[in-house]
Structure 1
Amino acid sequence: MSTVITSKPIGVREPIEGVVYPPAASLARYVEAGALTHETLADGLRLSFTQHAHRIALCGPGGTISYGELDELSDRFAAALLQSGLAPLDRVIFQLSNSNELVIGLVACLKAGLIPVATLAAHREHEIGYLAGLSEARMHFVQGDDPKFDDVEFAQRMQKEVPTLALIVQARGEARGNALGMRTLIDNMPLAQARDTLAGLELDPYQVAVFQLSGGTTGVPKIIPRFNNEYLYNMRSVAQFNGYRSDDVLFMPLPMMHNLNMGCCFGPFLLTGGAVTVAPDLQPQSLVDLFQRYRPTWGAIGGPVLEKLRPAIEAGQMPVKQLRGTISASGAPKLRSILGSPAFHIFGMTEGVIMMTRDDQPQEVRDGMVGRPVSPLDEVKLFQIGTEEEILEEGVEGECAFAGPYTIHGYYKAPERNKETFTSGGFYRSGDLMLFRDIDGQRYYKFCGRTKDVVDRGGEKINAEEVETVVGRHPAVAMTSVVGMPDPVFGERVCAFMVIKAGAVAPTVKELGVFLSKEGVAKFKWPERIEVVSEFPLTKTGKLSKPLLKQAITEILAAERAVSASNTTQARSSS
């Protein structure tokens, strides 16, 4: 699928089966526009590492690493992985909490041409087994010292289920079982030998760099191929849009394998020479300590993290005045009032387009909209829901679809899903609802909700159907329907409505959690409330109505709050 319009070929050299690559004509257009270059993501990182060799790259409880040290460590680890039997394009399951080792491992894979599969430390058999099998992963990269979960033993069990998993590499702690120790691999690989090995690789800028994951709406997460030069462009565009600088310090404590963190936060920071604070956990004191010691200038602070930090902020223990910007999916005005510093909205998806607000936009945009795309080459269309009838009027809500230099053209090994997800013109249907307004010659967008059946729990997109499928296996459950219930901290939490089998007793939330743990479902997906009903509400066409279920749980919660408030008032009166 290569086309040549310059001295270098445009298009992937060795396609991976199951990956949908961008059309050659689109690539040529983006190359001509200067968006896509003939650089890999590793090339972009190496350039930054050389320019900022003496600056701090990573800092936190796990220690401080300079850009020069990050370059050397990742070179040695990359060569050691190749020496251990891996080859470029082999897939690597990443299952670690935030750590310096995670970043070293990620950069090493990019340099070696290995493809990280961006799973989460919280994932279990249900997700890891599927994703490792689908991607035909060759290596499982685990943390090794998690006090609450023996991930080495877990990886050994996964090896028995997924035949392609040849290697287990343990990031920290003394290597156990058949796992190889990351530190030992690095120590046994001389730097000169490592760089000779890597110099012999010819990596493809049009090839997959990372397999990211989608929350999606059906089954377990779908795999999203992100390509070297487009992911590099994505990161550079965000850095330019926000004005990241080499003297900036980042605070983004959520999972580093998330696209939000990788594509919009620590990835762009590593390309601009800024310091990235690495938060190994979300304990309030850990976050406060990190903030106090490193005084971040940029932050990504969602509802759950804000609530953890609020007591320290209100007590004056958090140095927040130096923040040049904080990004959040919603609630920027609230963040500004709490922090006393600039706060901006972000809208985006792992599949591609990123929109943001910033200081040079009108106040009404910064307060209540998601701004505009970070790339002038991003294309946005609004359609009547379920059709390709485009909405051209301002202020009219529609289903949005996107195209651009860093928006995907298909999920990995999902041809049927791809038929449903893309328009006839190749635009990606996100399942989100938006409207636009033209203000002072610039188009801005407002997020209005979702058409997809997804629960957004503090930024984690949870497939309702996935949870329903597993909950439906519980011996007491005849039918179940999962919806998001409103929550002041997480935005939404998971609520499971259930019809119980005759003669059976409904499980409690705790009992259901035990069941889901045995089924290997990540804990953040477990329902946090159960509502037993005799039947589900139906639409006029006889289909289950999730909007009515969401309305029902919203009303139940409101009634409970009213009773609680009344009881509190009565208690105060009686005292």
Structure 2
Amino acid sequence: MEEVMQRKMYRPRTALEGVRYQDPATLERYVTQGVLPEQSLAAALREAFEKHADRMALLSPEGNISYRELDDLTDRFGASLLKMSARPLDRVVMQCGNCNELLIAFFGCLKADLIPICALQAFRRHEISYLANLAAARIHLVQGDDPKFDDVAFAEEMQSVAPGLSIVVQARGEQRGIAQTLWSMIAGMPRDEARTYLWGVDHDPYQAAVFQLSGGTTGVPKIIPRFQNEYLLNMRLVGAWNRYTQDDVLFMPTPLMHNMNMVCFFGPILLTGGAVVVCPDIAEPTLRQAIRDYDPTWYGLAGPIYSRIAEELVAARPDVKLKRKLTAPKNASGLSTALGSPCYHIFGMTEGVIMFAREGDPRYVLDESVGRPVCEWDEVKIVEPGTEDEVPDGEVGEALFRGPYTIRGYYRSEEQDVHRFTADGFYRSGDLMKAEVIEGQRYFFFRGRTKDVVDRGGEKINAEELENLINRHPAVLASAVVGMPDPVYGERVCAFVVPRLTGATIGLSALTAFLEQEGVAKFKWPERIENVSEFPVTASGKLSKVLLRNGLIERLQAEQSASNVSNG
């Protein structure tokens, strides 16, 4: 009897509505060429946890956790969610600060094939209601012991505006209200029973694993589906590029749910068998003590982190400095000189492509470039902004990206994506770059953004979204949001406001109180307000944020000079 071979299908077994998958032909090419693995991220993590069972995975002042313990705790938490009626591919809003419990919950969700929505702890009604309803989320994980905000009460409030959120879990603290606590759920789930629940979970390598979030360049954050095998590929590529080993200890205290931390740092470190330092806060004493206690080998220097640990790093012995490696988005040369350890630039986006400079690159590259993509299959075009016309190497243009781990579309955003992607699948990044070929390699140099965003310590704040919210204030006629330079965060938000009544002014406290009432995350609030009668315009009559920002910088410099004189 002749055997009929069924052709292998390179597509998810279940297509989620609103998720844009790679086309099967492209997936087949990536898989058959050995680029994309046919393994899920969840399966690879389980293998790593078992392989490194006797090593430490999480190092924290609140308690260290071995890989064996992490494997057990995540099994039991994931199974307990399934027992509570969660079903594979249900979405989970993760809204918790950095702590061991957050990682236990995150990996538990992956094992149960639940899809984490990587929200920020600072999000409020405006953001959470939108995301939960858009993604039809069923579970809301909150921290539970935040001294500044009753997030359990907030989760209960969210059920009235996002009724799909039927399960509330608090990661820490004494049980309150309708929430189930993470630790009670784990305690109530024996290991054997947990394995029974998880045994039937079939992880599809082509299915969405995580819903990451964009910085929000056209409104509230957009959802970015990242998939099991491509997210695994991304982590493995970074691990190999940076040569992570099981002896490495990571210090990257930015939010763990950020894509950069997940895919470039704690994800590949844990796949490799290294250890991750988990700091429950970023207060200077906490960070400095963690460095002393755990002697990290890899550091991420972003936002306000550098200024809080610089003195500790400078004080280290020469041999300790030599074994450290640092990453930063800019000023690698200056950081290397100041701290006595090699520093490498990083560039990346939640939508996909990751670039690093690394050991062995020419000095000019290490000092000035963001390196090159970690995958040889990553495709980069530098074009005239808003077009598909490529510019020669050496000229600045907009960077377009395509590759095995770069998305083909945002979640439930097909109509808008026509303007965000080229017809042949390149993602329009909005980032300005130039390319140079140096010693036979093509390297990339970041030169700013075409997008209207403020980058506050790594958090992207969409100007248009914030302007629309400010314009709701009854005393505001119009507003314009720009970034003002800041030595710690890079940029902070300044709002230029035209009051509705001639001669009136609007105070910063009144505006921020209004935004708080509107349920807007605090990190988006303006930290300076400028009352103006009108906005400067370009020759074509359009509002000029360049002129607004230049005038603001001049005022800031004048204020600083006056302060120096008065203090002199």
Q: Shorter chain as normaliser: what TM range?
A: over 0.9
Partner Cα distance (1:355, 1:241) in 2 = 10
Partner in structure 2 of residue 494 of structure 1: 493
User: Which ranges of structure 2 fall in alignment gaps of 5 or more residues?
Assistant: none
* Residue 438 of structure 2 corresponds to residue 439 of structure 1: yes
Partner in structure 2 of residue 243 of structure 1: 243
Q: 1:318 to 1:420 in 2, by over 3 A?
A: farther
More displaced 10-residue stretch of structure 1: 540-549 or 221-230: 540-549
Partner Cα distance (2:556, 2:5) in 1 = 61
Partner Cα distance (2:360, 2:447) in 1 = 23
Partner Cα distance (2:320, 2:424) in 1 = 46
Partner Cα distance (1:161, 1:390) in 2 = 46
Q: What's the secondary structure of 2:250's corresponding residue? A: strand
Contact map agreement 1:92 1:140 (CA 8 A) in 2: yes
Instruction: Tell me the amino acid that sits aligned with residue 559 of structure 1.
Output: A
Partner in structure 1 of residue 463 of structure 2: 464
Partner Cα distance (2:6, 2:234) in 1 = 22
Contact map agreement 2:9 2:24 (CA 8 A) in 1: no
* Residue 6 of structure 2 corresponds to residue 35 of structure 1: no
Partner in structure 2 of residue 78 of structure 1: 78
Provide Cα deviations, 1:338-373, integer angstroms capped at 9, x if missing partner: 221011100000000000001110111110110000
Q: CA deviation at 1:322?
A: 5.2
* Residue 278 of structure 2 corresponds to residue 278 of structure 1: yes
User: Which ranges of structure 1 fall in alignment gaps of 5 or more residues?
Assistant: none
Instruction: Tell me the amino acid that sits aligned with residue 165 of structure 1.
Output: L
Query: What percentage of aligned pairs have identical amino acids?
Result: 55
Partner in structure 2 of residue 477 of structure 1: 476
* Residue 410 of structure 2 corresponds to residue 414 of structure 1: no
Partner in structure 2 of residue 182 of structure 1: 182
Instruction: Tell me the amino acid that sits aligned with residue 199 of structure 1.
Output: W
Partner in structure 2 of residue 547 of structure 1: 546
Contact map agreement 1:296 1:322 (CA 8 A) in 2: no
More displaced 10-residue stretch of structure 1: 288-297 or 528-537: 528-537
Contact map agreement 1:477 1:506 (CA 8 A) in 2: no
Instruction: Tell me the amino acid that sits aligned with residue 169 of structure 1.
Output: V
Contact map agreement 2:394 2:434 (CA 8 A) in 1: yes
Partner in structure 2 of residue 527 of structure 1: 526
Partner in structure 2 of residue 304 of structure 1: 304
More displaced 10-residue stretch of structure 1: 242-251 or 180-189: 180-189
Partner Cα distance (1:486, 1:450) in 2 = 15
Instruction: Tell me the amino acid that sits aligned with residue 551 of structure 2.
Output: A
* Residue 207 of structure 2 corresponds to residue 207 of structure 1: yes
Instruction: Tell me the amino acid that sits aligned with residue 529 of structure 1.
Output: R
Partner in structure 2 of residue 405 of structure 1: 404
Partner in structure 2 of residue 127 of structure 1: 127
Provide Cα deviations, 1:34-68, integer angstroms capped at 9, x if missing partner: 12111111111011111100000001122110001
Partner in structure 1 of residue 557 of structure 2: 558
Partner Cα distance (1:206, 1:178) in 2 = 35
User: TM-score, with normalisation over the residues of structure 2?
Assistant: 0.97
Q: 1:5 to 1:291 in 2, by over 3 A?
A: farther
Contact map agreement 1:292 1:318 (CA 8 A) in 2: no
Aligned length: 565
Q: CA deviation at 1:324?
A: 3.0
Partner Cα distance (1:311, 1:5) in 2 = 65
Partner Cα distance (2:134, 2:327) in 1 = 34
Provide Cα deviations, 1:301-326, integer angstroms capped at 9, x if missing partner: 12411112234445559996154311
Q: CA deviation at 1:506?
A: 2.7
Partner Cα distance (2:126, 2:521) in 1 = 8
Partner Cα distance (1:290, 1:135) in 2 = 37
User: TM-score, with normalisation over the residues of structure 1?
Assistant: 0.96
Question: Post-superposition, which runs of at least 4 consecutive aligned residues in structure 1 deviate over 6 A?
Answer: 4-7
Contact map agreement 2:42 2:203 (CA 8 A) in 1: no
Instruction: Tell me the amino acid that sits aligned with residue 376 of structure 1.
Output: E
Instruction: Tell me the amino acid that sits aligned with residue 385 of structure 2.
Output: I
Partner in structure 2 of residue 268 of structure 1: 268
Q: 1:244 to 1:335 in 2, by over 3 A?
A: same
Contact map agreement 2:303 2:456 (CA 8 A) in 1: no
Q: CA deviation at 1:521?
A: 0.9
Q: CA deviation at 1:85?
A: 0.4
Contact map agreement 2:314 2:340 (CA 8 A) in 1: no
Q: What's the secondary structure of 1:420's corresponding residue? A: coil
* Residue 409 of structure 2 corresponds to residue 385 of structure 1: no
Q: What's the secondary structure of 1:9's corresponding residue? A: coil
Q: What's the secondary structure of 1:109's corresponding residue? A: helix
More displaced 10-residue stretch of structure 1: 339-348 or 544-553: 544-553
Instruction: Tell me the amino acid that sits aligned with residue 462 of structure 1.
Output: I
Instruction: Tell me the amino acid that sits aligned with residue 484 of structure 1.
Output: G
Q: CA deviation at 1:562?
A: 2.8
Indicate the RMSD between aligned Cα atoms, in angstroms.
Answer: 1.7
Provide Cα deviations, 1:425-461, integer angstroms capped at 9, x if missing partner: 1100010000011011000000000000011111111
Q: What's the secondary structure of 2:405's corresponding residue? A: coil
